[in-house]
Chains A and B, each alone.
Chain A
Amino acid sequence: MDNIKIDATERSPEIDFDFAANRFRVKGESYPEDVTAFYGELIEALDEHLRGLKGATVGFEFELVYFNSSTAKVLMGLFDSLDEVAGQGNDVRITWVVEEDDDNMEEMGEEFAEDLENATFELKKIES
Chain B
Amino acid sequence: MLAEEMYRLRGYLQDQGIMFCYSGYMTEGVLTGIGQAIKRKLELEDADKKTSKAIFSIFVEQMQNVIRYSAEREPLSGENELRYGVLTMGQKGDHYFVSCSNLVERKDVARLNDSLTHIKGLDPDGLKALYKRTLKGDTPQGSKGAGVGFIDIARRAVHGFDFDFTEVDDEHSYFCLRAYL
Contacts and interface: CB of A to CB of B under 8 A. Distances in A.
Interface of A: 10-11, 31, 33, 35, 66, 68-70, 72-73, 76, 80, 101-104, 111, 114, 128
Contact of A68 (B32, B49, B57): B57
Q: How large is the interface on B (under 10, 10 to 19, 20 to 34, 35 or more residues)?
A: 20 to 34
B135 A76 contact: yes
Contacts of B72: none
A-B interface, 3 closest residue pairs, ranked by CB to CB distance from nearest:
A73-B146, A33-B28, A69-B152
Listed residue (B49, B61, B135, B156) with the most chain A CB atoms within 10 angstroms of its CB: B135
Contact of B56 (A66, A73, A103, A114): A66
A31 B132 contact: no
Contact of A69 (B56, B61, B136): B61
Contacts of A69: 61, 145-146, 148-149, 151-152
B132 A11 contact: no
Interface in B52-111: 53-54, 56-57, 60-61, 64
B118 interface: no
Contact of B146 (A10, A70, A128): A70
B57 A73 contact: no
A76 B131 CA distance: 11
A103 B158 CA distance: 14
A114 B128 CA distance: 12
26 contacts: A10-B32, A11-B32, A35-B145, A35-B146, A66-B56, A68-B57, A68-B61, A68-B152, A69-B61, A69-B145, A69-B146, A69-B151, A69-B152, A70-B145, A70-B146, A70-B148, A72-B135, A72-B152, A73-B135, A73-B146, A73-B148, A101-B49, A102-B49, A102-B50, A102-B53, A104-B54
A43 B64 CA distance: 23
Nearest to A99: B49
A96 to B, nearest CB: 16
B36 to A, nearest CB: 8
Nearest to B54: A104
